[in-house]
Amino acid sequence: MSLMMRFFAALGENSAARDEIAPLLARVDEPLRQQASRLQTELDLSDGKPGTALADASQDASVKYLRARGILQQGQSVAAQQLLQAVKASAAGGERVQHAVILLQADILLQQRQFAEAHDQLIKFLDTTVTTDLWTEAFDLLDQAHLRLQEPRELPEAVLRWISSGNTPQQQPQPSLALIKATSELRGHALFIVAKWLVAEKRDIEAVSLLEALLQMAQDHPRRADAMRLAMELYAAQGAGERVLALAEAWRQLSGGASAMVDFTAGGMFFRRGDHRQAQRLFQNAANIATTLTDRRRALFNSAIAAVLAGDFTLYQSLLGHLEVVTSAAGDGQGADDNGATLELEKALFAAAKRQPEAELALRAFIRAHPDHPRFADASVTLAEWLLMAVPPRVHDARITLDATTAATTLSQSQMQRIDLTRLWLHDAEGDLKELLVQGAAFLKAWPKSTFVPEVRMKIAGAHYRLEDFASARTEFEIIARDYPETSNADTALYFAAMSASSVMSAEGRVRALATWEELAQKGGPLAVAARRQQALSERAQGRLNEALAALDKLLALKNLDVEQQRMTICEKAEVLLLLGKTDPARLDAAITLLDEFLAESSLPFFWKARAGFTLATARHDAKRDTEALEACYNVLRAAEITPPASPADYVWFAKTGFFGIDLLEAAHHWEAAARLAEQVAQRRGDREQEARERATKIRLEHFLWDGPAPTPPKVLKLKDEAEAKPDEPAESASKNIKKSMR
C-alpha cells in the first residue's frame, strides 16, 4: 500500500495518493500511521496548503522540515532558513531528511535570487554525496541555478568530471556493486544536465551526443524518458525524422509497448517543427491506439488540424467524420459541433495565413454559422486583418467587421486586446496617424501587461517617425529596445531609434546613431547590413569620407551580403572614392579600377550599368581623361539599345549619363556627335526626352548642322510659310527638317 501511495505521490496524482493514505491514517500501528500522516502533510504542501505542516508542533526532524516548507510557502524565508539550519545542525532525521534540508536551503537561495550561492551549495552537495534518493531534485535545482548565472556561463568543471568518473567520494579502488550503480546514476544525471545546458547555448549536436551516451547507459535511469524526449526534440529540429521515429519506438518499449502518449508527443514535436504530414500520421496513430475516448478525440482533432496544415483536405474530411463518430460515442453531441466548428475555423485560419483566396469566404461562412462559438472573435479579427492586408486595403469593410465583433459577442481580455490592436492597424491603413497615436496610448493605459504591448509601442513609434516627430519616435523606439530586448522588435527598434536620432540633426544624435548602428552591425543580426549602410551614409553626409569608406569596406566584407546589396555598396564606394579624388588623385584611379572591374560582369542589369557607367565617366573626367569618360557614357547608351531603361530609376541614370556625354562632346566642340547623342537620348521615353530633343535642335541650329534628323524649332520662329514656299531648296535642309518636324 505504502508503495502505491508513494508511486502516486511521485506521479503528482495527489488524489489517488490520498485515497491510498486514508485507510492508513486510522491504523493502530503508530509508526505507519505517522508515516501516512507526514505523507499527507507533504501532499497538502504540494497542493499549496501549508496548514497541516504548520499545525504539527512535533520536534521530529522530518516534521520540522515539513514545517519549514510550510513557513516558506507563507513567504517567511528567513524563518524557514533558521528552522532548516537547526535541523541540519542537529544531524537528526537520517540521511534522507538531511539531504532534503540541504536542497530546500538551496531552493530558498534561488528564491532570494542568490543564484551563485545556490549553485555552489548544490555542486558541493552533489560532489560530496555518495548516493541519495534526491539526485533528480538536486540536479533540477542545479539546472535552475546554472541557467540564472550571469553570461557567459562556463560548464562547471565538477559536472564534467562526474560525467567521466563520478563524484569525489565515488572514487574508490574496489567499488561495490551498489557504488557502481550509484556512480552510473550520477553520471547519467550529469550527462543529461550538461546536454540541457548545451541546448541552451544552441550547441545541439554536442547535446545530442551526450543524450545518446545516456541512452546507452542503464535502461532504468530515471532520466531516460526525459533524455529520449529531448533527443527527439533535437533530432526533429535537425530534420532527422528517422531517428525521431526510432526513439519514439524505443520510448514505446520503455513504457511497455504501444503508447498513444508517445505518438501524441512525437506528433506534437513534428507539428511544432512544421512537418505537418509526419505529425498527422503520428496523431492518427495515437488516435488508433488510444485507450480512452478523450485521448482518441484529442488525437483525432490534432490529426485533422495537421491534415489541414499539410493541405490534405480529403484526409481532413475523413478525420472530421471519425471525430464526429467518436464524439457521438462519448455521448457529447455539443462536443461534436464544437469540434467540427473549431476545425472549420482552423481550416479558414490556415487559408488566411497562406493568403489563399478562399480564406475570406471560409471566414465569413464560419462567422455566419457560429455566432456563439467561443472563437467567433478570432474569426472576425482574422477577417478584419485579411481585409486590411488586401491591396488596396478594404478599410471600410474591416471597420464594419471589427465593430460587429465588439457588439455581437462576449469577449475575453485577449480578444479585446487583439481587436484594439487591429484597430491601430486600421488607423494606420487610413493614414490617420494622429488617431493611431491617441488609440495606441489608450491601449497602453488599458492593457499595460498585454503581450501586444511591444507591438503597440512599435506602431506608436512608427507613427511618430512618419509624422517626422523624430524626438518622440526616438524615445519610443529606445523604450522598446530597452524594455523588450528579447523580442523580435528589439533590433528593429534600435535601428529606428538611431534613424530618428540622426534625423534630429543634433551632434549628440548623430554620434548616438553611429554608435547604435555599430552595435547592430557587430551583433550580426538581420539588420547588420542595413546598420552598416546607414553608418556609411551618415558619415558621407557629414563629409567624413574616410570613415564612410571604412564602413563600406566593412559592409563589403560581410558574407551575407546579397548580390544587389553588393552592387549598391560597390557603387557607393566608387562614389566616395570619387569625392576623395577631388584632393587625392590616387583615389580617382582606385574608383576607376573598381568600376572597370564591376562593369566587366556580363550579367549586370541595366540600372547598375548606367549608375556605375555614369560614376566611371565622372571619375575619368575628373582624372582629365575625357575621351575615356565619353566612352563610359557611350557604353551606357549602347546598353540601352539592348535593354532599354524599364523603370524610372533606370531612366534617371540613363539620362544623367547621356547628358553628361553631350556636355563632354560640346566641350570638345564635337557638335555633330553631340547633336547625335542628344537625339539618341531623346529616342527613349522619359521625363528628359523633350529636353534632349531641344538640346539636339539647339546644337544643330547654333552650329549649322543640317544633315541630322528634323530639329524642333523654337516656338518664336515662324518658318512654316518660308519652308512651304521653298520645299526643294537644297542648301536649306534645316528648313526642310523643321517643316517635317512641324508636320
Q: Is 634 in the site for another protein (CB under 8 A)?
A: yes
Which residue, 230, 247, 237, 319, is CA-closest to 275? Answer: 237
Task: Kindly tell me which of 310 and 633 has the beta carbon lying closer to another protein.
Answer: 633
432's CB contacts (< 8 A; 6+ apart) are none
Task: Kindly tell me which of 377 and 665 has the beta carbon lying closer to another protein.
Answer: 665
Per CB under 8 A, the segment of 517-525, 577-585, 629-637, 649-657 that binds another protein is: 629-637
| Beta carbon of residue 697, minimum distance to another protein (angstroms, whole number) | 18
Per CB under 8 A, the segment of 278-286, 439-447, 540-548, 625-633 that binds another protein is: 625-633
| Beta carbon of residue 633, minimum distance to another protein (angstroms, whole number) | 9
Identify residues 518-547 at the interface with another protein (CB under 8 A).
Answer: none
Q: Which helix (H) or strand (E) holds 279?
A: helix 276-289
Per CB under 8 A, the segment of 121-129, 404-412, 633-641, 725-733 that binds another protein is: 633-641
Distance CA 608, CA 570 (A): 10
216's CB contacts (< 8 A; 6+ apart) are none
Task: Kindly tell me which of 106 and 630 has the beta carbon lying closer to another protein.
Answer: 630
Task: Kindly tell me which of 630 and 652 has the beta carbon lying closer to another protein.
Answer: 630
**For residue 20, how many C-alpha atoms fall within 13 Å in the half-sphere facing its CB?**
19
Q: Is 474 in the site for another protein (CB under 8 A)?
A: no
**Cα pseudo-dihedral 319, 321, 325, 328, rounded to 10:** 110
| Beta carbon of residue 643, minimum distance to another protein (angstroms, whole number) | 15
| Beta carbon of residue 674, minimum distance to another protein (angstroms, whole number) | 10
Identify residues 259-278 at the interface with another protein (CB under 8 A).
Answer: none
Per CB under 8 A, the segment of 1-9, 64-72, 369-377, 634-642 that binds another protein is: 634-642
Considering only 332, 628, 694, 732, the residue that binds another protein (CB under 8 A) is 628
669: left (phi over 0), alpha (psi -120 to 50) or beta: left
| Beta carbon of residue 656, minimum distance to another protein (angstroms, whole number) | 18
Task: Kindly tell me which of 295 and 663 has the beta carbon lying closer to another protein.
Answer: 663
What backbone torsions phi and psi does residue 672 show, to the nearest 5 degrees? -60, -45
Angle at 518 between CA 514 and CA 524, to 5 degrees: 150
| Beta carbon of residue 634, minimum distance to another protein (angstroms, whole number) | 5
| Beta carbon of residue 730, minimum distance to another protein (angstroms, whole number) | 22
x/- track of binding to another protein for residues 635-674 (CB under 8 A)? x--x-----------------------------x-x-xx-
Task: Kindly tell me which of 33 and 670 has the beta carbon lying closer to another protein.
Answer: 670
User: How is 119-181 classified by DSSP, letter by letter?
Assistant: HHHHHHHHHH-S--TTHHHHHHHHHHHHHTSPSSPPPPHHHHHHHHH--GGG--SS--HHHHH
Task: Kindly tell me which of 106 and 673 has the beta carbon lying closer to another protein.
Answer: 673
| Beta carbon of residue 605, minimum distance to another protein (angstroms, whole number) | 19
Distance CA 112, CA 75 (A): 11
Task: Kindly tell me which of 21 and 591 has the beta carbon lying closer to another protein.
Answer: 591
| Beta carbon of residue 461, minimum distance to another protein (angstroms, whole number) | 53
Task: Kindly tell me which of 586 and 668 has the beta carbon lying closer to another protein.
Answer: 668
Per CB under 8 A, the segment of 35-43, 106-114, 161-169, 631-639 that binds another protein is: 631-639
Strands of 512-633, DSSP E:
none
429's CB contacts (< 8 A; 6+ apart) are 388, 393, 395, 398
| Beta carbon of residue 635, minimum distance to another protein (angstroms, whole number) | 8
Per CB under 8 A, the segment of 269-277, 326-334, 381-389, 627-635 that binds another protein is: 627-635
**142's grid cell:** 542545479
Distance CA 663, CA 670 (A): 10
Number of residues that bind another protein (CB under 8 A): 12
Neighbours of 62 (CB within 10 A): 21
Q: Is 592 in the site for another protein (CB under 8 A)?
A: no
Q: Is 589 in the site for another protein (CB under 8 A)?
A: no
Distance CA 188, CA 390 (A): 56
Task: Kindly tell me which of 322 and 670 has the beta carbon lying closer to another protein.
Answer: 670
Task: Kindly tell me which of 231 and 677 has the beta carbon lying closer to another protein.
Answer: 677
Distance CA 83, CA 540 (A): 68
Identify residues 295-324 at the interface with another protein (CB under 8 A).
Answer: none
Considering only 146, 189, 533, 676, the residue that binds another protein (CB under 8 A) is 676
**315's grid cell:** 484526409
What angle do helix axes 395-408 and 376-388 make, rounded to 10 degrees?
170
Per CB under 8 A, the segment of 230-238, 466-474, 622-630, 647-655 that binds another protein is: 622-630
Considering only 72, 214, 595, 630, the residue that binds another protein (CB under 8 A) is 630
Which residue in the block uniquely carries the three cell numbers 526626352? 689
Task: Kindly tell me which of 137 and 626 has the beta carbon lying closer to another protein.
Answer: 626
Task: Kindly tell me which of 50 and 661 has the beta carbon lying closer to another protein.
Answer: 661
Distance CA 388, CA 177 (A): 70
Residue type, 667: A
| Beta carbon of residue 484, minimum distance to another protein (angstroms, whole number) | 57
Task: Give the CA diameter of the chain.
Answer: 139
* Per-residue buried b or exposed e for 113-130, using 16+ beta carbons within 10 Å of the residue's own CB: ebbeebbebbbebbbebb
Would you call 43 helix, strand, or coil by DSSP? Answer: helix
Task: Kindly tell me which of 421 and 591 has the beta carbon lying closer to another protein.
Answer: 591
Distance CA 530, CA 561 (A): 10
What is the distance in angstroms between the CA of the first residue and the CA of the last residue of the chain?
A: 113
Asked if 456 and 425 touch (Cβ cutoff 8 Å), the reply is: no
Task: Kindly tell me which of 93 and 661 has the beta carbon lying closer to another protein.
Answer: 661
712 DSSP assignment = P
Q: Is 631 in the site for another protein (CB under 8 A)?
A: yes
Considering only 627, 642, 647, 725, the residue that binds another protein (CB under 8 A) is 627
12's CB contacts (< 8 A; 6+ apart) are 46
Task: Kindly tell me which of 13 and 707 has the beta carbon lying closer to another protein.
Answer: 707
| Beta carbon of residue 666, minimum distance to another protein (angstroms, whole number) | 13
Which residue, 571, 658, 586, 670, is CA-closest to 622? Answer: 586
Distance CA 714, CA 105 (A): 98
Asked if 612 and 599 touch (Cβ cutoff 8 Å), the reply is: yes
Per CB under 8 A, the segment of 20-28, 49-57, 624-632, 718-726 that binds another protein is: 624-632
Task: Kindly tell me which of 216 and 627 has the beta carbon lying closer to another protein.
Answer: 627
Q: CA-based Rg of the chain, rounded to a whole angstrom?
A: 38
Residues that bind another protein (CB under 8 A): 627-628, 630-631, 634-635, 638, 668, 670, 672-673, 676
